[in-house]
């Protein structure tokens, strides 16, 4: 980077340093516009097409040295763009100019410091000389006079309105003398109180709280305790009868009738307690007839207390456009609205502390049964839109839900969402304790239709257990497997050799292996038979999978998954004389054992025997007995076809009393599932993973292995 030393050429001829304080603006901005041009020590313009630099601005008493007037501390950096040397700054953005009085320092100078910016500000260089702050032409028509604004608010200089009147928003105080209306004491004057609502008030207030004050009116009429009455035309006069509103001290009013129509400013009834009473003493109360209980009480400390009798309710009826509001007139120090049933436990079902029943309108508007609007403060405190605090754990057998969202129960024509998190949040959901539970839905069916731009996470029963599923916006679904990794993973390399690559165990192959890549199956390894080698396929050399119980063998339980495809002519597989025996699963033997129908071994998996299995895949479990190896076979219902991609999967949990299986035709998007719990391989017998076939004739046939994985889950 070029040196920043001596690189500033100030362009003051057009903009320079101008405080924009003009009379036309109601409130002058606390910002000062400044434009400059940035050079390096060789006179080259800096910034190029746009580079960010750090700027610090401060105001001083002299062109050099002197005292700093603004800001009070170290200047706050401001990042500005410099394009071909030119930068524009609004001084007062990083450090406010609101408290700085230019009139108090008529001669002052602006100091500029610049530093390179690369994620943070580098070392600053002070530019010289400082620029003197001078006035602009419009400053002759100033926004303030000696620091004071023109107007009718606090600390303003009064101005006349267009009609030549003086308008005062606050109070007018006369320190001595009197306020006279008219030109002579014999003339009549008037005082008019006006506002937008015509709610006119005359207040007489002594400057000392304990002092008394008096209002002198024309000579009193009648006896003491006379009251002022209104004759209906606004003229007050003294009266001792027909009192529409009376002050009663020390006694109760058994009956009160008001014959005067109340207005917006005059209540029909006003009660005021003038003597001190206890904090729970009733100032005012209303009892139901014939006086069986207090319905409404007003006390000095407890406020308003509503106590309806059993079976009664407190109801507020709101007309169109009306609302009920609880407004704090001071800083809250307790809950603004509290609902409690302390000491009064419910005795019937479905009782709520706060219930909202809201029916939306039959239109396209947005409605809310409850709407909470929150405004975070400027501090680092925590604010909750809704907070549910459990004060104790639930009892044995109990169930405590922080929030329960009940759905409509039946499918509707629209979209019903239990919880929707809108945009703008940094975190959608944060879980600090507990777990997230997903209840399984119908296998293979996502809870909702696929939506472009959205993904779904749901649970469904697969292979005998509930597994989380992930569905993307294009409706493709992936199962999130329960184990962390496959013990033995076989992949297909993108090389012409076609050799299989495995992780976790040694393996062996039979037949000719070659790479295939076409539109139907993608990349796979094709195993092809020949006259001399009729067994083809893949198997693990090691036998470290067990249908065991806990503590037997090196592990208990297993899972198997293989993705295959068949090519060629279907009769090469289904013919009873020239077809092909197949097995994909776990067995105690090797690929060579497929040379007979239903080999008597410890085995479990998917098989096809052309002499007995028609045209479907079968699932077989064998306990090394001839009868068991035949009797336990299940027809999967999945047709065997060529040029189709199949995914074969089975799972045996801890203890392995049941083997769950699933076969999918990924080409046609069909699926079959099932389970077997009889004639399983012996508990302690070690098994190897096998994916292969045996040709009944010398006719070449092949199958493609796209992927295989075998694991011990526990």
Pairing type for strands 522-528 and 8-10 reads unpaired
Q: Which range (73-82, 232-241, 243-252) has the least confidence?
A: 243-252
Confidence of residue 12 (pLDDT cuts 50, 70, 90): very low
Residue 96 has pLDDT above 80, yes or no: yes
pTM, to two decimals = 0.48
Least confident span in 96-105, 231-240, 269-278, 426-435: 269-278
Assess whether pLDDT exceeds 90 at residue 687.
no
How distant is the alpha carbon of residue 368 from its chain centre? Answer: 18
Look at residue 549 in the predicted model and tell me its pLDDT: 55
Instruction: State the average pLDDT over residues 57-80.
Output: 93
* Nearest residue to 611 (alpha-carbon basis) of 689, 694, 677: 694
Mean pLDDT value of segment 519-545: 74
| pLDDT at position 475 | 64
Q: What is the pLDDT of residue 203?
A: 58
Residues 360-390 pLDDT 10s:
888 888 888 888 888 888 878 888 888 888 8
Looking at residues 220-247, what average pLDDT do you find?
A: 60
Cis peptide before 601, with omega less than 30 degrees from 0? no
Stretch among 205-209, 227-231, 634-638, 669-673 having the lowest mean pLDDT: 205-209
Q: How far is CA 262 from CA 106, 193, 241, 272, 701, in A?
A: 61, 20, 19, 18, 103
Per residue, what are the HEC states of 260-281?
A: CCCCCCCCCCCCCCCCCCCCCC
Distance CA 687, CA 281 (A): 87
- Return the pLDDT at 494: 42
Instruction: Quickly state the pLDDT bin for 184 (edges 50, 70, 90).
Output: low
- DSSP class of residue 46 equals P
Q: Are 215 and 204 in contact (CB under 8 A)?
A: yes
**What's the pLDDT score for residue 640?**
93
Note the pLDDT of residue 249. Answer: 44
Q: What percent of the chain has pLDDT over 70?
A: 63
Distance CA 625, CA 629 (A): 6
Could you tell me which of 369, 465, 449, 375 has the C-alpha nearest to residue 414? 449
- Calculate Rg over the CA atoms of the chain: 45
Q: Mean pLDDT over all residues of the chain? A: 75
Ranking 136-140, 422-426, 460-464 by mean pLDDT, the lowest is 136-140
Question: What integer pLDDT is reported at residue 347 of this predicted model?
Answer: 87
For residue 109, pLDDT over 90 is answered with: yes
Q: Which of the residue ranges 204-208, 490-494, 612-616 has the most confident prediction, judged by mean pLDDT? A: 612-616
- Asked if residue 57 has pLDDT above 80, the reply is yes
Residue 313, CB half-sphere, CA atoms under 13 Å: how many? 3
pLDDT higher than threshold 60 for residue 38: yes
Rounded to 5 degrees, φ, ψ at 517 are -150, 110
DSSP three-state, residue 150:
strand
Higher pLDDT, 29 or 101: 101
Label residue 436 exposed, middle or buried (CB < 10 Å: 0-12, 13-18, 19+): exposed
pLDDT in tens, 259-282: 556 665 555 566 666 666 666 676
The pair of three-digit structure tokens given for residue 703, joined into one six-digit string: 């199958």
Query: Residue 414 pLDDT more than 80?
Result: no
- Taken in order 97, 101, 106, 107, the sign of the CA dihedral is negative
- Token pair for 713: 């889950």
State yes or no: pLDDT of 477 exceeds 80.
Answer: no
Residues 71-96 have a mean pLDDT of 92
**Pick from 130-144, 176-190, 677-691: least confident:** 176-190
User: Given this model, what pLDDT does residue 460 score?
Assistant: 78
Task: Give the CA count within 13 Å in the CB-facing half-sphere of 178.
Answer: 4
- 113 vs 412: which has the higher pLDDT: 113
Range with the poorest average pLDDT among 138-147, 325-334, 442-451 = 138-147
Range 340-356 average pLDDT = 85
Q: What is the pLDDT of residues 622-662, one digit of tens each?
A: 999 888 788 888 999 999 999 899 999 998 877 788 899 99
Using the CB atoms, write b or e for 376-401: b if 16+ within 10 Å: eeeeeeeeeeeeeeeeeeeeeeeeee
pLDDT at 689: 85
Top pLDDT among 708 and 165 is at 708
State the DSSP H helix or E strand holding residue 456, giving kind and residue range, or none if neither.
strand 456-462
List pLDDT tens digits, range 111-133: 999 999 998 999 999 988 898 98
What are 52's strand-pairing partners? 81
DSSP 280-331: TSEEEEEE-TT-SSEEEEEETTTEEEE-PPTT--------TT-------SS-
Mean pLDDT, range 155-179, rounded to an integer = 66
**pLDDT value of position 551:** 47
Highest mean pLDDT: which range of 349-358, 508-517, 557-566, 631-640: 631-640
Average pLDDT, stretch 86-102?
A: 89
Residue found under tokens 């969402």: 417
Percent of the chain residues topping a pLDDT of 90: 16
């Amino acid at each position: 980077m070029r040196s920043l030393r001596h690189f500033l050429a100030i362009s003051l001829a057009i903009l320079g340093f101008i405080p924009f304080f003009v009379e036309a603006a109601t409130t002058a901005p606390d910002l000062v516009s400044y434009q400059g041009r940035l050079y390096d020590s060789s006179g080259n313009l800096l910034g190029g097409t746009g580079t960010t630099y750090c700027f610090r601005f401060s105001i001083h008493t002299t062109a050099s040295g002197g005292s700093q007037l603004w800001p009070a501390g170290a200047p706050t950096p401001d990042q500005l763009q410099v394009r071909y040397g030119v930068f524009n700054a609004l001084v007062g953005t990083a450090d406010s100019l609101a408290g700085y009085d230019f009139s108090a320092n008529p001669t002052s100078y602006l100091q500029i410091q610049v530093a390179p910016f690369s994620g943070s500000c580098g070392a600053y260089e002070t530019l010289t000389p400082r620029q003197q702050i001078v006035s602009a032409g419009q400053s002759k028509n100033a926004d303030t006079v000696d620091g004071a604004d023109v107007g009718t608010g606090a600390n303003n200089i009064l101005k006349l309105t267009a009609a030549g009147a003086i308008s005062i928003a606050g109070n007018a105080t006369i320190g001595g003398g009197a306020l006279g209306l008219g030109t002579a004491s014999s003339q009549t004057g008037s005082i008019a109180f006006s506002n937008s609502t015509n709610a006119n008030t005359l207040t007489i207030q002594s400057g000392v709280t304990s002092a008394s004050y008096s209002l002198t009116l024309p000579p009193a009429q009648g006896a003491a305790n006379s009251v002022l009455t209104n004759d209906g035309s606004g003229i007050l006069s003294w009266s001792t009868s027909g009192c529409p509103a009376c002050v009663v001290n020390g006694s109760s009013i058994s009956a009160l009738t008001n014959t005067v129509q109340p207005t917006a400013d005059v209540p029909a009834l006003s009660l005021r307690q003038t003597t001190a009473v206890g904090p729970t003493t009733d100032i005012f109360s209303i009892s139901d007839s014939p006086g069986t209980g207090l319905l409404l009480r007003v006390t000095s400390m407890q406020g308003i207390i509503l106590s309806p009798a059993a079976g009664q309710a407190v109801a507020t009826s709101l007309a169109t456009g009306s609302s009920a509001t609880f407004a704090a007139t001071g800083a809250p120090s307790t809950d603004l609205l509290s609902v409690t049933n302390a000491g009064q436990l419910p005795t019937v079902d479905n009782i709520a502390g706060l219930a909202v029943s809201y029916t939306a309108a039959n239109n396209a508007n947005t409605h809310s049964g409850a709407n909470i609007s929150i405004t975070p403060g400027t501090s680092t405190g925590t604010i909750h839109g809704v907070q549910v605090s459990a004060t104790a754990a639930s009892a044995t057998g109990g169930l405590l839900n922080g929030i329960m969202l009940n759905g409509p129960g039946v499918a509707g024509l629209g979209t019903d969402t239990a919880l929707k998190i809108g945009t703008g949040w940094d975190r959608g959901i944060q879980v600090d304790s507990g777990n997230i539970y997903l209840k399984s839905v119908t296998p293979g069916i996502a809870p909702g239709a696929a939506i472009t731009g959205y993904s779904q996470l749901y649970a469904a029963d697969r292979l005998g257990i509930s597994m989380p599923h992930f569905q993307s916006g294009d409706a493709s679904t992936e199962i999130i497997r329960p184990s962390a990794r496959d013990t033995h993973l076989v992949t297909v390399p993108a090389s012409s050799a076609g050799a299989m690559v495995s992780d976790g165990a040694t393996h062996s192959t039979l037949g000719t292996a070659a790479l295939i890549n076409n539109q139907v199956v993608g990349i796979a390894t094709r195993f092809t038979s020949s006259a001399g080698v009729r067994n083809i396929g893949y198997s693990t050399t090691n036998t470290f999978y067990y249908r065991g119980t806990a503590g037997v063998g090196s592990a208990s339980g297993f899972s198997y998954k293989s993705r295959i495809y068949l090519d060629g002519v279907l009769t090469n597989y289904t013919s009873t004389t020239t077809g092909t025996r197949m097995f994909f699963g776990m067995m105690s033997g090797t690929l060579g054992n497929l040379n007979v129908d239903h080999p008597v071994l410890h085995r479990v998996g998917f098989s096809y025997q052309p002499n007995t299995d028609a045209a479907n895949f079968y699932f077989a479990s064998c306990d090394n007995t001839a009868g068991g190896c035949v009797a336990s076979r299940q027809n999967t219902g999945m047709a065997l076809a060529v040029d189709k991609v199949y995914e074969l999967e089975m799972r045996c949990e801890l203890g392995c009393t049941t083997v769950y299986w699933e076969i999918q035709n990924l080409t046609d998007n069909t699926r079959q599932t099932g389970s077997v719990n009889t004639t399983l391989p012996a508990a302690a017998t070690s098994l190897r993973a096998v994916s292969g076939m045996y040709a009944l004739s010398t006719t070449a046939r092949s199958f493609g292995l796209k992927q295989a994985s075998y694991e011990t889950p526990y």
